[in-house]
Amino acid sequence: MDQFILFGDSITQQAFSQDAPAGHEDPSGFFGPALADAYLRRLDVINRGLSGYNTRQALQVLPQVIPPPEKARVRFLTIFFGANDARLPDTYPDPQQHIPLEEFKDNVRAIASHPCVLAHTDVRIILITPPPFHERSALESDRVEDGSREPNLRRTAVAAATYAQEVRELGEQINLPVLNLWTAMMKRADYQGTGIDDGMLPGSMGDRDVQSRANTVLKSYLHDGLHFTRTAYEVLFEELMALIQRKWPDQTPEALPFVLPRWDDEEAWKVEQASLL
């Protein structure tokens, strides 16, 4: 079967997880199983999420991620990085993950235009922006994990928003569709603003209204400030399916035939039998 490859960092890697995050009853991994079920017997959904990777590392291993056309045809490719690139420089612990903004943008462009990707005819590439970040949840998670030291803020809400903006701009520049996950989540949190440099974004320490709907919703999406709960993966799934419906209506699950015939398709089985003679 043709492949639907999910290429990203830990948020992609955990998209199939059946473990429930601390404080949550439901396993987080909704997106992966939902997508695999939607395309069942039509496309193989391949998880190539690599925890901790930034775009520099992703670009280096890309030839090992994308199969050559003679092995398998790639129909869809999602590129979902930035959460690690946006980590602040010189923060504990090593090794560092930060990638400067311009290099990040160049790396995503290089991934999308890599010869290994373009070797596939009509591969449908989707860029996904980094999600929002919830700083208080990240600090709380750090305290639980390592109570022996004062936690430090390795990522910020503003940095997440800034790297998301770079993905949006790149999509416009190279004419690729962008799943604007940052905005989709913020809208569901009733955030109406657009500014990202005032330190008052929902999820930031600068936003003192910790009981606001925006902060409450973001906290329900990001169990440790960064990684997704089931609810967040549901948003990702809804947004991805809506994008495919808009951009490629002929590639929705309903529009694609089964690769192998139904068990009760008598005419198809006559053809199959004849091909064996």
Q: DSSP state, 204? A: S
User: Tokens 């936003």 map to which residue?
Assistant: 207
Centre a 10 Å sphere on the Cβ of residue 170 and count the other Cβ atoms it contains. 19
Catalytic residues, which ones? Answer: 10
Residue 86 contacts residue 155 (beta carbons within 8 Å): yes
CA atoms of 167 and 160, how far apart (whole Å): 11
Per DSSP, helices labelled H in 98-134 are 101-112, 115-118
Residue among 147, 142, 168 at smallest CA distance from 226: 142
Residue 240 contacts residue 181 (beta carbons within 8 Å): no
How many angstroms separate the Cα of 236 from the Cα of each of 133, 156, 169, 229? Answer: 15, 21, 20, 11
Taking the chain, what is the end-to-end CA distance rounded to the nearest angstrom?
Answer: 24
CA atoms of 166 and 128, how far apart (whole Å): 11
